Amino acid sequence: MPEEQRFLTISEVEALNAATTPGLLRMRQQEPVNEDERLCSRCRNAEDECLCWKCRRCCEYFFETQPCDRCDRCEGCCNCLICTSCGDRVGDTCNHCSSCESCCECVSCNECGDVIDLDNGDSWCGDCEFCENCCTCNNVIREHDADASVLGFKGSSSDSTWFGVELEVEAKGGRDRQQLASDTQTVLYGDAICKEDSSIDNGFEIVTAPATLEEHRRIWRKFFESHIPNKLTSWVSGRCGMHVHISKPNSPYLVGKMLVFINSDINAGLVNDIAGRDGSTYARRMPKKLTDGWHRSRDRYQALNIDTGKGTVELRIFRGTLNRLHFWANLEFAHGLRYFCDSAGARELTWVKFNLWVSQPERRATYSRYIEFMKGKGYVFTNPKTRRGKYSSEVSGERISLEQGRMGNRLGEEG
């Protein structure tokens, strides 16, 4: 334990002086002696003139040295660093030049923190202040949280329902993904962006602005008519997906009907056929009730994610594809799901009723690619009506076997 500071009388000091090194004595022979005066046991000064100070860390008293002007500690306890430029004691110095923050003239990367030694040929970006290894200013592929809605809404929607497509793709044969993303960005300029996606290999995600179905036909027609799809793949590896965001309806009841349709066992065959897969870790299907439309879900990896945080519901069922017909069929199916569920009753949420609904003369043009694709899967689309305008009880759709057209011709995917 450190010795506490004591103040002694003159008599006590004289007794102590006899056993103390002469260099530490306070010479008072020429001064008037005041027997009542109390002196410090260390520095031998009067109490109001004591030179001793106490270290904040070890609590020892010192008078021959001075404490650190930064931390008020003794030399043995002080951990402060000394700036090689100004000589001041500081808490931290540059690892490269050992100068304090005020004196340091080194340039550091704002991302990794490494010092950029310009004198030895290192380079850095003046825009983002990152080193050449961290700089992404020349990268077309944006961070995963980039928002394509900044591009604005494309087209005019009478009911404020918009659709956004996220298509994951990978570069074929080790091609440069940055160059392919740049080409994609050029073709889809103003309508889509390219984003990072950690679930795919040497690829990126094409994300469109919110748009109507007609605007999507314009946007994606440019893409499919370019040379880019021939240099990309989306189906082959099984890693890629296609997600369609739909403006979230104001009616929880409508959201509930969409959930029931996508997750119903009755519709599993059709959903699997249009999706190109039987569900996945990233698009799980599970039984749903109409009332689920009123509840939030923390699981974003569901077939229909109703809590995206973006004011949308996200249809995640599709395997990624660059087959033009399949792509359009997917998009038209997502569009049809939204509006079929809006008009269908709770007991009409079946694949048969859906196919009859899209087969109506006033809708056939809108869903022509979906109908063509599903015909290739063995589904039959007819539209017989009774004179009352109701669907006949003997419609071709209901005669399809429980295999739901699986024996039909399979359209080849890209790659």
pLDDT band at 368 (very low <50, low <70, confident <90, very high): very high
Judge if 152 and 182 occupy the same domain: yes
Judge if 270 and 316 occupy the same domain: yes
Q: What is the pTM of this model?
A: 0.66
Side chain identity at residue 204, one-letter code = F
What pLDDT sits at residue 30?
A: 38
d(CA 206, CA 388): 46
Give the model confidence (pLDDT) of 190-212 as tens digits: 999 999 998 999 999 999 999 99
What pLDDT sits at residue 228?
A: 97
Say if residue 231's pLDDT is above 90. yes
Judge if 101 and 193 occupy the same domain: no
Domain for residue 363, yes or no? yes
Q: CATH code at 198?
A: 3.30.590
Task: Say if CB 322 and CB 276 are below 8 A apart.
Answer: no
Domain for residue 413, yes or no? no
How is 111-124 classified by DSSP, letter by letter? Answer: TT--EE-GGGT--B
What pLDDT sits at residue 382?
A: 72
Domain for residue 359, yes or no? yes
What pLDDT sits at residue 264?
A: 96
pLDDT band at 140 (very low <50, low <70, confident <90, very high): confident
d(CA 156, CA 211): 8
Judge if 129 and 174 occupy the same domain: no
Say if residue 253's pLDDT is above 80. yes
User: SS3 of 161, please?
Assistant: coil
pLDDT band at 12 (very low <50, low <70, confident <90, very high): low
Report, as an integer, the average pLDDT of 177-186: 96
pLDDT band at 126 (very low <50, low <70, confident <90, very high): low
How many folded domains does the chain comprise? Answer: 3
pLDDT band at 88 (very low <50, low <70, confident <90, very high): confident
Distances in whole angstroms, Cα of residue 223 to Cα of each of 200, 313, 322, 352: 20, 25, 10, 33
Rounded to 5 degrees, what are φ and ψ at 40? -65, 135
259-275 burial string, b = 16+ CB within 10 Å, else e? bbbbbbeebbbbbbbbb
Q: What is the mean pLDDT of the chain?
A: 80
3-state helix, strand, coil in the chain (%, to 5): 30, 15, 55
Judge if 55 and 185 occupy the same domain: no
HSE, side-chain direction, 13 A CA sphere, residue 34: 7
Entry field: residues in the chain:
415
Question: Which letter does DSSP use for residue 234 in this model?
Answer: S
Say if residue 266's pLDDT is above 80. yes
Judge if 19 and 114 occupy the same domain: no
Judge if 254 and 338 occupy the same domain: yes
Choose one of 95, 115, 138: the last residue of a domain. 138
What pLDDT sits at residue 402?
A: 32
Domain for residue 409, yes or no? no
Q: Nearest to residue 242, comparing CAs of 144, 165, 160, 128?
A: 165
Judge if 104 and 183 occupy the same domain: no
Domain for residue 258, yes or no? yes
Judge if 128 and 234 occupy the same domain: no
What pLDDT sits at residue 44?
A: 64
Give the model confidence (pLDDT) of 297-356 as tens digits: 888 899 999 999 999 999 999 999 999 999 999 999 999 999 999 999 999 999 999 999
What pLDDT sits at residue 364?
A: 95
Question: Which letter does DSSP use for residue 34 in this model?
Answer: -
Side chain identity at residue 85, one-letter code = S
Task: Say if CB 195 and CB 141 are below 8 A apart.
Answer: yes
Side chain identity at residue 198, one-letter code = S
Distances in whole angstroms, Cα of residue 315 to Cα of each of 42, 302, 305: 82, 8, 7
Say if residue 111's pLDDT is above 60. yes
Question: Which domain does 126 fall in, by range?
Answer: 80-138
Task: Say if CB 351 and CB 358 are below 8 A apart.
Answer: no
Judge if 44 and 104 occupy the same domain: no
Domain for residue 406, yes or no? no
Judge if 195 and 160 occupy the same domain: yes
Judge if 312 and 390 occupy the same domain: yes
d(CA 72, CA 404): 83
